[in-house]
Amino acid sequence: MSQLSTDKLSVAFAGLKALSDVDLAIKPGQITGLIGPNGAGKTTLVNVLTGFQAPTGGAVSMNGTALTGLKPHQIRRKGIARTFQGGRLFRDLPVIDNLEVTGVGLGQSRASARAEAAAMLDWIGISALQNRIAGTLPYTDERRVAIGRALIGKPAYILLDEPAAGMSGPEAAELSALIKRIATEMGCGVLLIEHNVGLVLNLCDHIVVLDSGMVIETGPPDAIRSSEKVRHAYMGTAAETNLPVLEVLA
């Protein structure tokens, strides 16, 4: 079966259980939401899926084949791409070079990497930014460039770590439309980590809720919206980012 999945995945940091027996599956063409309060383990999960963090238990597999022990660049070549919570572009390089460098890193010739980079910027609708120095972009554009870079080489899966953080309503809506197109037009399997739970409920086919490293709920948006466990998990935390979440839960 075609999917990226974890089986009883666990990560412990010197006694702190960041993830405990997490089962999750991301499917081509679908958007899977991953939500949970600050420190729930969301980024740690993406780090394990992309080879940046070794698990202390359990396994990651793609289409039935284990990915255990592979390095980040090897996982990227297998078609699993990500963005980072902070963007992480090459700030001194023009936008198009940021994408081209990734294509070259994946083994393309410079000419074909350049052509794919240009086509990708066009597909996203940001061709006008191609010669801008990445470090000078407003962060809404920076995020879209980071997503474009992750899509170079046509990955089967893309993992987005808080792509809408700090965006206004209209900016987040525009980003939502892009994420939807990644799933429907590219057939990519998307994992979307977001504190903007309204956005996640609107966009995702399936949602997984983490709290203190454990999956406390999974299901379609309606089930999450009305879940007492989810509401309770967010109520137990004082962080400001978690407060608006309670407003969109039933």
Indicate whether 3 belongs to the interface with Mg ion (CB under 5 A): no
Our CB check for ligand ATP shows the closer of 54 and 223 to be 54
Our CB check for Mg ion shows the closer of 43 and 242 to be 43
Question: Cα 127 from chain centroid?
Answer: 23
- Which residues have C-beta within 8 Å of that of residue 123, sequence separation ≥ 6? none
Indicate whether 74 belongs to the interface with ligand ATP (CB under 6 A): no
Query: Which listed option, Mg ion, ligand ATP, none, makes contact with residue 63 (CB within 5 to 8 Å by class)?
Result: none
Indicate whether 36 belongs to the interface with ligand ATP (CB under 6 A): yes
Indicate whether 40 belongs to the interface with ligand ATP (CB under 6 A): yes
CB neighbourhood size of 69 (10 A): 8
One of 2, 38, 136, 168 touching ligand ATP (CB under 6 A): 38
Q: CA 20 → CA 13, 27, 218, distances in Å?
A: 12, 22, 15
* Contact criterion met (CB below 8 Å) for 227 and 209: yes
One of 29, 39, 72, 221 touching ligand ATP (CB under 6 A): 39
Q: What angle do CA 83, 243, 37 make, to 5 degrees?
A: 45
> Encoding tokens for residue 97?
């070079």
Cα(83)–Cα(189) distance, integer angstroms = 14
User: Quick one: CA dihedral 103, 78, 28, 61, positive or negative?
Assistant: negative
Stretch that binds ligand ATP, among 32-40, 113-121, 169-177, 216-224 (CB under 6 A): 32-40
Our CB check for Mg ion shows the closer of 42 and 149 to be 42
Our CB check for Mg ion shows the closer of 97 and 161 to be 161
Our CB check for ligand ATP shows the closer of 34 and 201 to be 34
Strand bridging mode 157-161 / 57-62: unpaired
Residues linked to residue 27 through DSSP beta bridges, in sequence order: none
Cα(194)–Cα(241) distance, integer angstroms = 10
One of 43, 53, 227, 242 touching Mg ion (CB under 5 A): 43
CB of 94 to ligand ATP, least distance (A): 30
CB of 162 to Mg ion, least distance (A): 7
Stretch that binds ligand ATP, among 39-47, 144-152, 200-208, 216-224 (CB under 6 A): 39-47
Strand bridging mode 80-82 / 31-35: unpaired
One of 20, 33, 41, 62 touching ligand ATP (CB under 6 A): 41
Q: What angle do CA 23, 27, 28 make, to 5 degrees?
A: 160
CB of 137 to ligand ATP, least distance (A): 22
- Kindly list the residues in this chain that would bind ligand ATP in the complex (CB under 6 A): 13, 16, 18, 36, 38-44
Q: Which residues bind Mg ion (CB under 5 A)?
A: 42-43
